[in-house]
Homo-oligomer: A and B are copies of this chain.
Amino acid sequence: SKHYNIAVLAGDGIGPEVMAEAEKVLAVVADKFQFGLTLTPALVGGAAIDATGEPLPAATLELCKNSDAILFGSVGGPKWTGLAPDKQPERGSLLPLRKTFDLFCNLRPGQIYPAFADLSPLHPRVSSLGMDVLCVRELTGGIYFGEKGRTATDAFDTQRYSVAEIERIAKVAFAAATKRSNKVTSIDKANVLQTSILWRETVERVAKDYPGVTLEHMYIDNAAMQLIRSPQQFDVLLCDNLFGDILSDEIAAIAGSLGLLPSASLNSSGFGLYEPAGGSAPDIAGKGIANPIAQILSAALMLRYSFGEEAAAQAIEQAVQHCLEQHIVTRDINPQSTYGTAAVGAAIVATL
């Protein structure tokens, strides 16, 4: 029978507490949908730095290589901000993991749920129209990984893209749009960047294979503006690495509910890293009040994308939806709420 090995990298701050709830949920759906799971924890981020001096120890990387997917919590905190950039918890773990496993495709959904429109920092006249976007971000190319260097008086970074890199992420965006509202907005700065011109040409060619999907191009500056003015106009946003970094966080801010937003980072053979969109929130760590939903929904994405366990993924998503409707939520969603991390996790488990 089916069995999946999962590397569990809980990390820092609220990571361990929310991960504990996701693990409980996974155990229940494994039982219900009859598959086996082995969850193996490993050190990452600041916790790993403290124990080994490295944000991504060799043993952790080795475990990931021998697993079917990575369930990632969150990393970082004030303790480690003074370190050199490539030693820092977030960058020092996420960038090598993305590169090692060729996780070129980052998916970050962002919604304004009608029932929770008031969570959004947007005006009700805007938020009441809703938002339901999927940000498809290229994750292993661009200015993140191009040649870079510096002297005492100068520095440079290179943004590089090939047609092949653009094609594979564009295909993901169009395929996703066919299962959503059939619209792709491709983000670039083609009035300034050569990589953007190549991006635009390539995306237009890929679009020909998806005649049912409407393609529109938008400059990054205009997109940063339009997302605030009328986020309901968007369906799938297709972005390079840097623009996707910026817009996916802007989308998360607009949704107003970081604690509800999962993400998936995939390669072409279905391997993936799954993590909540929010950070390690050191200010509330250890208090039992962190929202576990983004971590639990990240686990659902893992079941869907890496294991093809669609029914189990949907069961989790429905259980989460049910709890939201019953207002069984943590304080970030409802300041009056008395439910904590464990109570919300337990309610989702009970619903399942």
The docked-state distance in angstroms from the alpha carbon of A242 to that of B191 is 12
Please give the distance in Å from A3's CB to the nearest CB on chain B: 37
The docked-state distance in angstroms from the alpha carbon of A249 to that of B247 is 13
Kindly state whether residue A159 has any CB partner on chain B within 8 Å: yes
Kindly state whether residue A79 has any CB partner on chain B within 8 Å: no
Residue among A190, A194, A246, A249 with the most chain B CB within 10 A? A246
Contact B195 A157 (CB under 8 A): yes
Kindly state whether residue A150 has any CB partner on chain B within 8 Å: yes
Please give the distance in Å from A232's CB to the nearest CB on chain B: 12
Among the listed stretches A83-91, A281-289, A309-317, which one makes contact with chain B, having 4 or more residues with CB under 8 Å of it? Answer: A83-91
Copies of this chain present? 2
Residue among A127, A164, A226, A245 with the most chain B CB within 10 A? A245
Please give the distance in Å from A281's CB to the nearest CB on chain B: 13
Among the listed stretches A31-39, A65-73, A115-123, which one makes contact with chain B, having 4 or more residues with CB under 8 Å of it? Answer: A115-123
Task: Name the B residues within 8 Å of A153 (CB-CB).
Answer: 162-164
Contact A193 B148 (CB under 8 A): yes
> How many A residues touch B, CB cutoff 8 Å?
59
From residue 149 to 180 of chain A, which have CB atoms closer than 8 A to chain B?
A: 149-150, 152-164
Task: Name the B residues within 8 Å of A164 (CB-CB).
Answer: 153
Contact A229 B191 (CB under 8 A): no
Q: Contact partner of A143 among B150, B190, B193, B225, CB < 8 A?
A: B193
Contact A221 B197 (CB under 8 A): no
Kindly state whether residue A296 has any CB partner on chain B within 8 Å: no
Contact B158 A197 (CB under 8 A): no
From residue 171 to 226 of chain A, which have CB atoms closer than 8 A to chain B?
A: 189-195, 197-198, 220-222, 224-226
The docked-state distance in angstroms from the alpha carbon of A198 to that of B162 is 28
Kindly state whether residue A228 has any CB partner on chain B within 8 Å: yes
Contact B192 A155 (CB under 8 A): no
Task: Name the B residues within 8 Å of A88 (CB-CB).
Answer: 191
Residue among A121, A150, A162, A245 with the most chain B CB within 10 A? A121
From residue 248 to 306 of chain A, which have CB atoms closer than 8 A to chain B?
A: 248-250, 252-254
Task: Name the B residues within 8 Å of A194 (CB-CB).
Answer: 148-150, 155-157
The docked-state distance in angstroms from the alpha carbon of A124 to that of B126 is 12
Please give the distance in Å from A193's CB to the nearest CB on chain B: 5
The docked-state distance in angstroms from the alpha carbon of A226 to that of B224 is 13
Contact A146 B156 (CB under 8 A): yes
Residue among A124, A156, A245 with the most chain B CB within 10 A? A156
Kindly state whether residue A113 has any CB partner on chain B within 8 Å: no
The docked-state distance in angstroms from the alpha carbon of A229 to that of B250 is 10
- The 10 A-B pairs at the shortest CB distance, nearest first, are namely A155-B198, A225-B253, A228-B253, A221-B249, A91-B191, A148-B194, A155-B194, A224-B250, A156-B160, A225-B249
A interface list, Cβ under 8 A from B: 85, 88, 90-91, 95, 118, 120-124, 126-127, 143-144, 146, 148-150, 152-164, 189-195, 197-198, 220-222, 224-226, 228-229, 242, 245-250, 252-254
